[in-house]
Amino acid sequence: MNFPSVRPRRTRQSHPWRRMVRETRLSPDQLIYPLFVVPGADVRHPVTSMPGISQLSVDEAVKESRMAEQAGLPAVLLFAAPAHKDERARAALDPHGLAAEAIRAIKETCPRLLVWADVCLCGATDHGHCGHVLPGGVIDNDSSVQTLAQVALNYARAGADAVAPSDMMDGRVAAIRRLLDRDGFAMTPIVSYAAKYASAFYGPFREAAESAPAFGDRRSYQMDPANGREALREVLLDVEEGADLVMVKPAGPYLDIIRQVRDAVRVPVVAYQVSGEFSLIKAAAERGWIDERAAVMETLTGIHRAGADLIITYYAPQVARWLGA
Ligand code: PBG
């Protein structure tokens, strides 16, 4: 059979038809909302390059978490920008450091909201790199992995429901798993930023997280945007090391990677719609060049259709409300 008897438009001709045959559905259950925590109290400092997003003191992060929970979201992803930065990332290792205090405060107020803690050194180091730096500017993988595991343990002790290493050092998932298991946190999942690309789309985030590298760039540890097979290698290694969920980041420019990863592993796949992806839509919408709501729903639908089970997005509360309306 062929045209004129075959007509794909038949099931597209009205809203009820389109509703019934829709293949991809977004739900607030799939969305995770990132938060940026800074020192102080009563602080809501707007991030210029991310309209609607602010750096929040712990008390305000608690309020924002309550809002996220009320919007129907299951989880937030926490980033901290502590005041004190040094070459050892001591603020991230401190049981009373900014991130640990924020985790504790949010869990106290919103016990049913999952708190995923981003585990990295870049927000707490004076040089802004994701690992320790040797003289000459080389990133020391193996000592970084030891520190990252200690940071993860610190956040697990503070009550984090998951730890999410975003540093891209080799072997960190296994090291984190080993330390968590040894210290009584066998049930704390690891969300691994497994395929994280050296992307131009992190620009606005680095303002929000105050984590831009003081010298050089991140290309010796984050992936080359040109590489797809290497992403699968990274993901499979992390699963072998014990990752409970794996992430592809950024999301929009890497839909092919998301699909390949979804087909290659059995753990949940997370995609991160990063700051630059958010800011592009915002900027165009502010100029009236694009329909913000339609554009956001289309990007998230595309990311989900490509194979992402879960999506981290700065639009999460807004989308949850749109879906509920
Ligand atoms: C740092 C980190 C980055 C993001 C999450 N964790 C930026 C970077 O690698 O420089 C980016 C998130 C975003 O752009 O929204 N470990």
pLDDT tens, 30-71?
999 999 999 999 999 999 999 999 999 999 999 999 999 999
Question: How large is the average pLDDT for residues 298-319?
Answer: 98
Question: How large is the average pLDDT for residues 11-17?
Answer: 98
pLDDT at 325 over 70: no
pLDDT at 207 over 90: no
Q: Which domains does the chain have, with CATH numbers?
A: 25-324 (3.20.20.70)
Question: How large is the average pLDDT for residues 190-211?
Answer: 94
pLDDT at 268 over 80: yes
pLDDT at 88 over 80: yes
Determine the atom of ligand 1 nearest the C-alpha atom of 204: 14
What separation, in Å, do the N-terminal and C-terminal C-alpha atoms of the chain show? 41
pLDDT at 230 over 70: yes
Helix, coil or strand: residue 143: helix
> How many angstroms from the chain centroid is the CA of residue 258?
14
Residue 153 burial (CB count, 10 A): 23
Instruction: Round the average pLDDT of the chain to a whole number and report it.
Output: 97
Question: How large is the average pLDDT for residues 175-186?
Answer: 98
Determine the atom of ligand 1 nearest the C-alpha atom of 211: 10
**CA–centroid distance, residue 205 to ligand 1 (Å):** 6
Q: What was the pLDDT predicted at 209? A: 86
Please report, rounded to a whole number, the percentage of residues in the chain having pLDDT higher than 70.
100
Given ligand 1 and candidates 120, 202, 303, which is best to mutate, with the most ligand atoms within 8 Å of its CB? 202
Question: How large is the average pLDDT for residues 14-39?
Answer: 98
Distance, CA of 184 to CA of 165 (rounded, Å) = 19
**CA–centroid distance, residue 260 to ligand 1 (Å):** 22
Neighbouring C-alpha atoms within 13 Å toward the C-beta of 147: 24
Cβ-in-10-Å burial (0-12, 13-18, 19+) of 212 comes to middle
Of 224, 232, 121, the residue nearest 169 (C-alpha): 121
Distance, CA of 28 to CA of 317 (rounded, Å) = 8
pLDDT at 182 over 70: yes
Distance, CA of 249 to CA of 257 (rounded, Å) = 9
pLDDT at 4 over 70: yes
Active site residues: 196, 249
Q: What are phi and psi of 307, to 5 degrees?
A: 135, 0
Q: What was the pLDDT predicted at 283? A: 98
Distance, CA of 76 to CA of 35 (rounded, Å) = 7
Taking only the tens place, the pLDDT of each residue in 282-300 is 999 999 999 999 999 999 9
Distance, CA of 179 to CA of 173 (rounded, Å) = 10
Of 73, 64, 65, the residue nearest 44 (C-alpha): 64
Atom 16 (ligand 1): residue with closest C-alpha?
Answer: 166
Cβ-in-10-Å burial (0-12, 13-18, 19+) of 149 comes to buried
Amino acid type, 13: Q
Determine the atom of ligand 1 nearest the C-alpha atom of 130: 16
Residue indicated by tokens 């991310």? 50
Strand partners, 132: 140
Cα–Cα distance list, 72 to 75, 113, 150, 263 (Å): 9, 10, 32, 29
CB 212 within 8 A of CB 284: no
Question: How large is the average pLDDT for residues 250-265?
Answer: 98
**CA–centroid distance, residue 198 to ligand 1 (Å):** 10
